[in-house]
């Protein structure tokens, strides 16, 4: 279901850089960037405050991270921050291709502990807009992948949280054999009945 093919008029100017679509998890959206191409290459807008406002991004960008992962099949994740440092993320792949995964950890959510996977690549121009209260991670499906993360909150080590990417409660269907994962990510705790979710 298309949330909004952005076509906003402001002072006679039509904004049409980003197209948002709802996913099966409330608040989690895919973002498709409009590519403007010519013989030189292309231009696409990674962030537009006016258009993203309608998709729920209401805070300033607090941090931008550029991540490179060299091996195909590598996993990073699944990361989040506890309140009051919970963050929205806009995740874009600018080189290679990944399967990007978001897990709903929000207490009381009808899709609590459900996950969504989307292919992001430098070619398809898609991004994932991840609300507060979600864990996020990805697996590379190409070599030499680079992602850009926009965060609505800065990194706070004391608020850092993670869920295990191999947790049987989640049963995430990673598409490739795992080639590499950090010890920190491999050792994230498993979810048990004591975990009631993140209270936002």
pLDDT, tens digit, 9 for 90 and up, residues 114-159: 999 999 999 999 999 999 999 999 999 999 999 999 999 999 999 9
pLDDT category at 100 given cuts 50, 70, 90 is very high
pLDDT category at 30 given cuts 50, 70, 90 is very high
Q: Which of 40-44, 75-79, 103-107, 180-184 has the lowest mean pLDDT?
A: 40-44
13 pLDDT higher than 50: no
Distance CA 57, CA 30 (A): 13
Write out the catalytic residue numbers: 79, 149
Calculate what percentage of the chain has a pLDDT beyond 70.
92
Buried b (16+ CB within 10 A) or exposed e, 44-83: beebbeebbeebebeeeeeeeeeeebeebbbbbbbbbbbe
DSSP 157: G
- pTM value? 0.88
- 9 vs 144, residue with greater confidence: 144
Average pLDDT, the chain: 91
Give the tens place of pLDDT for each residue, 41-84: 878 888 888 888 888 999 999 999 999 999 999 999 999 999 99
Among 98, 100, 102, smallest CA distance to 111 is for 102
Rg (CA), the chain: 17
9 pLDDT higher than 70: no
pLDDT given for residue 3 in this prediction: 43
Distance CA 28, CA 197 (A): 17
pLDDT given for residue 5 in this prediction: 41
97 pLDDT higher than 60: yes
Q: Is the Cβ–Cβ distance between 111 and 83 less than 8 Å?
A: no
- 32 vs 37, residue with greater confidence: 32
């Amino acid at each position: 279901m298309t949330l909004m093919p952005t076509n906003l008029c402001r002072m006679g100017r039509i904004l049409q850089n980003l197209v948002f679509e709802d996913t099966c998890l409330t608040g989690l959206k895919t973002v498709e960037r409009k590519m403007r191409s010519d013989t030189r290459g292309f231009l696409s807008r990674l962030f537009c405050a006016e258009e993203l406002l309608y998709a729920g991004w209401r805070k300033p960008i607090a941090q931008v991270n550029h991540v490179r992962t060299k091996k195909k099949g590598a996993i990073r994740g699944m990361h989040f921050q506890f309140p009051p440092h919970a963050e929205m993320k806009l995740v874009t792949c600018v080189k290679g291709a990944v399967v990007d995964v978001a897990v709903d950890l929000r207490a009381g959510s009808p899709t609590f502990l459900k996950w969504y996977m989307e292919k992001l690549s430098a070619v398809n121009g898609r991004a994932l807009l991840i609300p507060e209260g979600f864990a996020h991670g990805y697996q590379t499906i190409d070599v030499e992948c680079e992602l850009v993360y926009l965060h609505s909150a800065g990194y706070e080590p004391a608020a850092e949280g993670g869920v295990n990417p191999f947790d049987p409660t989640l049963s995430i269907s990673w598409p490739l054999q795992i080639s590499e994962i950090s010890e920190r990510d491999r050792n994230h705790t498993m979810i048990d009945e004591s975990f009631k979710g993140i209270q936002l």
